[in-house]
Structure 1
Amino acid sequence: MTHICHLNHQYHTAAVASNGDLYTWGGGMYGKLGHGNESGHSTPRRVEGLVGLTVSQIACGSRHTAVITSTGALYTWGDKENGVAGHGDTEGHQYTPKLLERLAGKRVVQLSACGFHTGCLTDAAEVFTWGEGKFGRLGHGAERNCHSPRLVEVLLGKKPRQVACGGFHTAVITDDGKMYTFGGGEHGQLGHGDKVNKTKPTIVQALEGIFVSQITCGWSHSVALTAKGRVYTWGNGDHGKLGHGSGKKVSTPQMVEKLADHKVVRVASYNEHTAALVEPFDESGNYAGAFGTNSVPVTTAYMQDMRDMVNDEEYSDVTFLVDDQPVYAHRAILARRCEHFAAMFRSGMRESLEREIRIPNVPRPVFLLLMEYVYTDSVKIDLEHSVDLYIAADLYQLDRLRDMCCMVVKRNVNGENAAVLLQSAADAHCQVLKDICMEYIVANFDIISKSEGIKSVSHALLLEILAMRP
């Protein structure tokens, strides 16, 4: 199987085999399995009406199913009430897959369905929606039902890249990373800071300046994944589906802090839950799978060549004085890999003109580790350098390196070193690493209070620890 769509509201599932055949199973009400009747099936059964076509995408609604083929054709079947199936009529059910004639002249590239409406995106960057229009979820400026696909005119020219349908609302992201929502806002799921319905696509102001790369909508909540791998959720928080540690409703996007140390590559949600797929760090400091399945990662020889350029005087065109010792580097590499250095070199100030630049308050071994990361995109971080390297990464705006330092501390903190790490983080005014150590110490206080390291903790920090104990 290459693609699976599971709907756990009215109990049906659809999956595409490697040869492009579609299989469905589960509840057959409204004909949504596509087998010509309303019978359910407890095992996967091929949808014969699509044999000979290669299915590339699936979307499941509460009472209907929709698919895109490899040629961009769109087929739907299931309930016709309120125009859910999109074929123009509203009586009865569509028991087998039927080509959506309204879009026959278009190439559909993306599809979403949830509840009683459907949205799709064409290769011309057009968004079409149809089905039940209550709450304005179709984005046409009213709450009328739409019995066949209708263009969402407000989004013309905005270059939509993905559409996601929720139970009572819809979300769209554009090529420039902006997010628009419309439909029911009762639970704050539109993200506009209120609970007001929107009948037309409205930009989510709280995410301005943040590039959203993927979205998904549950029945009454929304999820946004950013280009940097951060996850934001908002809407109905029942059952903890927002991931913020409570069941409260949130009407503006809030980052899921528990995922801040991971690079999230995909998000999914439905009625009462949300899921995130993350790429862990591998032993080299890269995210596992960072190169993708269709590309060839750089060779170890290349990586070693780049590593050998760190602090290599030959061909260098800038020298940093760190602890009064030279560290040789190359402006082009630094400027391309680090915005801090790019700003430094183009500022017109002394640092952009002089060949020697003094670096204060950074230990030379730590600066060399930072340089290795800049040159190779990977570095082995020893625990003893994690605090100072975090501070340096924060100074030079290297977010991923900073995240790697957090991960090293989280993975290596133990009963013997937690107290020492805590004091080091506190002395460096590094609140993030301090919090990680503090959380570990509070949870394991009976063990750590008997360790040698506890003697290095200041009186003020001991009082903080005691105050946080349950």
Structure 2
Amino acid sequence: MRGDAFPCLTGGRTSRGPRGRGTQAQIHMEDESPPPQGVGVKVLEATLLSALKMLDVGKWPIFSLCSQEELKLIRQACVFGNAGNEVLYATENDEVFVLGMNCSGCLGTGDMQSTIEPRRLDTLCGKKIACLSYGSGPHVVLATEEGEVYTWGHNAYSQLGNGTTNHGFIPCQVSTNLVNKKVIEVACGSHHSMVLTSDGEVYTWGYNNSGQVGSGSTANQPIPRRVTNCLQNKIVVNIACGQMCSMAVVENGEVYVWGYNGNGQLGLGSSGNQPTPCRIAALQGIRVQRVACGYAHTLVLTDEGQIYAWGANSYGQLGTGNKSNQSYPTTVMVDKDRVTEIAACHSAHTSAAKTQSGQVYMWGQCRGQSVILPHLTHFACTDDVFACFATPAVMWRLLSVEPDDHLTVAQSLKKEFDNPETADLKVLVDGKYIHVHKVLLKIRCERFRSILNNDDEIIEMSEFSYPVYRAFLEYLYTDNIRLPPEDAIGLLDLATLYRENRLKKLCQQTIKQGICEENAIALLSAAVKYEAQDLEEFCFRFCINHLTVVTQTQGFAEMDHDLLKNFISKASRVGAFRN
């Protein structure tokens, strides 16, 4: 006799089999090596989710200070500072951490101590970050999804908007003139700040030596004030800052500029500073969607997917094929494809663009060299251009995980398992229905090809328990098995009966996770019964390694005579009973 003498080992047909101490597991079969013991389905699913949502931040050197475990949790990040030596990131549970040099207290930790270990910013934890920008001091301006604004860091020019010139060592909310306003976009110049509200208003504060806050004077502005003049009755939809200038795009596609203009970065055809907003007349009839500012150059993207550039060009950052500055908007030719994204950063002389087909181009300063025409890169996003080519290697925007609604074929099939809305067959087991699709069952399982008829709407299965049969049907949709190790013996029985060899291997892997001294003999019996040689060898080695305890269990005392005889013989051959 083999394992038939043990009622608990008759498989899923009559009972659940021996209970172990393992947790529910979902195994994906890539090879025959067993997965880590005790790994549960929720842990595996969380790991998979983290892998799918993990930001690719490895190109920025500062992230080498973080462990792999920390990197997997990051959902938003911004590398900033004069040398790319500071970083702020938010995790999947909305915790906010910082690390780096902490110049001028720009990490917001309450001091000026640099840190190579991530430090938590309690003030911002639990607040979902919508956007973030930074200056050269550096100072940081952040807006939450609720529309609140927080600032900290360098403040010698009142760029924090709190009415003082004292550095801010912790994030503090900016409320003056922003009460009941929801901020949806932020931008920083070298030492001035600008925000855009949901109702299309622009507020600025900070350094104003060149008129960059748009107030009409050159006096620094210690608190947020609305930019009016030509913008008084306009609804602004996008903002950007160069080192000492400011830009705004209004809803009809016009572009307004103000501030420093020594390199022609305002696009007005002159080099004189502009203390209040002025419309770029040269763009008349062109509908602009976005504006991006470099150190002293400007890019705009039109609704037709074209790029115009103007301003400083000493590194070829205008992409015109030469290094001559331009004070009027000039067309930038990026192949023949429509451009969907432009990128620039006020601390760099680098430009980038992404086309509708997903190609990424860069031009301007590239690791000290000059690229005077748009150059096709091997990157998939403009962010990588600044990580690898710009000086310093900072981020031009807050980098965030983008939701991906696309489902692969495998993901689509998994989603449709037990879906009554699309299923055309119900499998009745233990009085419960499992909704499936006949064509998939026929494709995936030879047994179903022989028993299913086209007019079947319900089939009843009584050979195995509901958990076992549900796990089997789910396996046909997912190539995974999801059930506790103690229930997997029933599925092993089914796999043996149905001649599903791959499923049989998966079951053995799952059962291994649930082995313990108390059930080792029962699992060994099951392995022998179902001719699962890999599992049998595993259980035998486990019994030998825990021989003293195993021989004292009830399972060993009730062991089938033939199985006991074979066990003792085999154990003797491997020297288990030697003193």
Instruction: Tell me which interval the TM-score lies in, with the shorter structure as reference length.
Output: 0.5 to 0.7
Moved more, 31-40 or 9-18: 9-18
Matching residue of 1:136: 211
Matching residue of 2:103: 29
Which of 142, 150, 173 aligns to 1:75? It is 150
Cα-to-partner distance string for 1:346-370 (whole Å, 9 max, x where unaligned):
xxxxxxxxxxxxxxxxxxxxxxxxx
Using the TM superposition, give the Cα deviation of residue 60 of structure 1 relative to its aligned residue in structure 2, in angstroms: 1.1
Matching residue of 1:166: 242
- Residue identity in the other structure for 1:253: P
Give 3-state SS (helix, strand or coil) of 1:135's partner: coil
Which of 190, 195, 218 aligns to 2:294? It is 218
Q: In the aligned structure 1, how far is the partner of 2:341 from the partner of 2:88? A: 20
Matching residue of 1:246: 322
Q: In the aligned structure 2, how far is the partner of 1:19 from the partner of 1:157? A: 40
Using the TM superposition, give the Cα deviation of residue 43 of structure 1 relative to its aligned residue in structure 2, in angstroms: 5.7
Tell me if the contact between 1:230 and 1:260 (Cα under 8 Å) persists in the aligned partners.
Answer: no
Tell me if the contact between 2:337 and 2:355 (Cα under 8 Å) persists in the aligned partners.
Answer: yes
| 1:94 is aligned to 2:171 | no
Q: In the aligned structure 2, how far is the partner of 1:160 from the partner of 1:127? A: 7
| 1:274 is aligned to 2:274 | no
Using the TM superposition, give the Cα deviation of residue 71 of structure 1 relative to its aligned residue in structure 2, in angstroms: 0.8
| 1:116 is aligned to 2:191 | yes
Give 3-state SS (helix, strand or coil) of 1:49's partner: coil
Q: In the aligned structure 1, how far is the partner of 2:123 from the partner of 2:358? A: 45
Using the TM superposition, give the Cα deviation of residue 183 of structure 1 relative to its aligned residue in structure 2, in angstroms: 0.3
Q: In the aligned structure 2, how far is the partner of 1:229 from the partner of 1:293? A: 23
Give 3-state SS (helix, strand or coil) of 1:30's partner: helix
Cα-to-partner distance string for 1:398-420 (whole Å, 9 max, x where unaligned):
xxxxxxxxxxxxxxxxxxxxxxx
- Residue identity in the other structure for 2:263: H
Matching residue of 1:7: 80
Tell me if the contact between 1:66 and 1:77 (Cα under 8 Å) persists in the aligned partners.
Answer: yes
Matching residue of 2:133: 59
Tell me if the contact between 2:139 and 2:160 (Cα under 8 Å) persists in the aligned partners.
Answer: yes
Cα-to-partner distance string for 1:63-87 (whole Å, 9 max, x where unaligned):
2111111110000001221111110
Q: In the aligned structure 2, how far is the partner of 1:210 from the partner of 1:43? A: 49
Moved more, 80-89 or 22-31: 22-31
Tell me if the contact between 2:130 and 2:184 (Cα under 8 Å) persists in the aligned partners.
Answer: no
Q: 1:275 to 1:130 in 2, by over 3 A?
A: same
- Ranges in structure 1 where 5+ consecutive residues have no aligned partner: 283-287, 298-470
| Rg larger in structure | 2
- Ranges in structure 2 where 5+ consecutive residues have no aligned partner: 1-73, 360-379, 382-401, 408-579
| 1:235 is aligned to 2:311 | yes
Give 3-state SS (helix, strand or coil) of 2:315's partner: helix
Tell me if the contact between 1:22 and 1:55 (Cα under 8 Å) persists in the aligned partners.
Answer: no
Cα-to-partner distance string for 1:440-464 (whole Å, 9 max, x where unaligned):
xxxxxxxxxxxxxxxxxxxxxxxxx
Q: 1:71 to 1:202 in 2, by over 3 A?
A: same
Q: In the aligned structure 1, how far is the partner of 2:285 from the partner of 2:75? A: 35
Tell me if the contact between 2:189 and 2:245 (Cα under 8 Å) persists in the aligned partners.
Answer: no
| 1:208 is aligned to 2:284 | yes
Q: 1:86 to 1:174 in 2, by over 3 A?
A: same
Moved more, 11-20 or 165-174: 11-20
TM-score (norm 2): 0.47
Matching residue of 1:263: 338
Cα-to-partner distance string for 1:14-41 (whole Å, 9 max, x where unaligned):
3333443333333311111111111223
TM-score (norm 1): 0.58
Using the TM superposition, give the Cα deviation of residue 42 of structure 1 relative to its aligned residue in structure 2, in angstroms: 4.0
Tell me if the contact between 1:15 and 1:23 (Cα under 8 Å) persists in the aligned partners.
Answer: yes
Q: In the aligned structure 1, how far is the partner of 2:96 from the partner of 2:351? A: 26
Q: In the aligned structure 2, how far is the partner of 1:253 from the partner of 1:23? A: 40
Matching residue of 1:176: 252
Cα-to-partner distance string for 1:171-216 (whole Å, 9 max, x where unaligned):
0001111101100000000001111110001001111111111111
Q: 1:260 to 1:33 in 2, by over 3 A?
A: same
